[in-house]
Structure 1
Amino acid sequence: MTSAADTAPSPASPPAAEAALAALRGEIDRLDDQLHDLVMRRAEVVASLAASRVKGGASPLRPGREAMILRRLLHRHHGDLPPGAMVRLWREILASSSAMQGGFSVAVYARDPDQPRLAREHFGSMTPVRSMPTAAQALAAVGSGEAQVAVLPLPEEGEPPEQAWWMGLDAPRLQVVARLPFWAAHAETLPEAFAVTPGAPDPSGADRSLLRLELAKDLGRPQLLAALATAGLAPRTMLIRRDGGVVRALAEVDGVVAEGDPRLAALPFDRALPLGFYAVPERGNQG
């Protein structure tokens, strides 16, 4: 009579285990070569794009286009590789592609110690990043061409005037073009920042805009919210400052709102100035 022990498969012999391991390593090597070939081919296409006249001298930074790429990849992603690792890989590829088309550096107002890390993770580990002592100096570096991107903390209610960089942002010459990080595993307790560059951002298909509102008469928060909603610009968030008899508000609204938008003319304010827009960030716990 045959026992269970007699029919159980015997452990793989050391030579067989080594052969299996060698086969897996060989497969990884072949995949690495294929990946490398594709990365090199991608760089060739980027170089052709940079040499062509299609872009017409525009900035190599295309945050809206990058957001579209990452959203598509996140939608199709599956398997054991964490989505955050995939995003990090592509952020390095995208940053390298931008550098190939002209190169850029980043000026960071490091009010929070996480701001430089956010900048490096978003714009690539090889991109030069300089910490600046004030938001004004970071913006001045971009305005002078010393840097191509300023990374600034999100505005906060009641912050000191010198930290409220949005009040003096020279739009439309400088505009908000991105919100960092674009992807994160969770939505809560995230350090975040805005990126500001010269010129207008490019739409991603799912965007939010920032508006600076100025009025000599204080309408109060309910009246401000109602006026924006009536014009079709109901804000998701709004900060209000009262300095020297002038009321300024920063409103965040859904969609792309650019200069000349007819909804702005319907607002009963002394001035309504778009400060740019950004791709809505992706969060891993959404859906």
Structure 2
Amino acid sequence: MRIQKCLIVIIALVGAFTLTGCGGSSYQSHITTKPSYSVSVSQLAARLGLTIQKAGSPYYELKNANNRVLLFTHQGGRVYVNGTAICPMGTTTQVGGVTYVSELLVPKICGYLISGSAITLNSYKTFSPKTASGTVVIDPGHGGKDPGATSYHGYYEKTVNLSIARKVASHLENRGVRVIMTRNSDIFIELNERADIANRAGADLFVSIHADAHQSSSQNGYTIYVARSASWTSKKVGIAVEQAMGQTGLASKGIRNSDFRVLVRTACPAVLVECGYLTNPSEASLLDDSQFQDRIARSIADGIIAAL
């Protein structure tokens, strides 16, 4: 009899687990608060310059005049841009009837969209690949004994600064600009010397490349800095780079004033670019990705070319 009772209990427990266990393994979770590092589907569409044409099972359809994006939210679903599968959908979350997806999808999808008058990321225009002349000093922040910030994933700011700076230099040189790097390896250079390099060269523009950090991991976006007493040309470059960076799909924190030494000691127009937050898990992943670094670099180069 005792054995029979035990079997009944076991069968009951197995049945209960079977009924409830499926919910735990579901691809789409249901919680009561918005998950970190996520955007709603409507926010995703707005940031990509798209509108929602179809919402719900088995997919969301986002469109504009030039693009069609499908988000398949089922188990193992993928993201399609103009008929091509570009990446897994990842986990989606339902909160109060609103579907949230990873904010990493914004820049991933952005790279596959067809440009045109109907798409303007964050209301920014896409710059044309025109050429320019002049001398631009590109300054990868930190280096050597000065690692800069440490990313959420453990790598140092000095490394990503140099990688992006090299890519900016390459894009500028391909478009006719003479480029001088304050450093092209992992070495330490004093702040005054960085500015002096530009002054000795009689540069037309100085651009310092950095990545941001904050005690809160939810902080995100890129920021452009000019000195408090910046010339109109510095401000014009700042505006152009801030607008062009909208092509990355990252959020803009705008143009700010700060008297960083490299901005106030240079005789030429100067801007400092914080490319994103290393302390934000999503942006730290993007900033460590070579293809996304190139997207940032192309955007910075676009802004520079537009302002020269």
TM-score, normalisation: structure 2: 0.28
TM-score by length of 1: 0.29
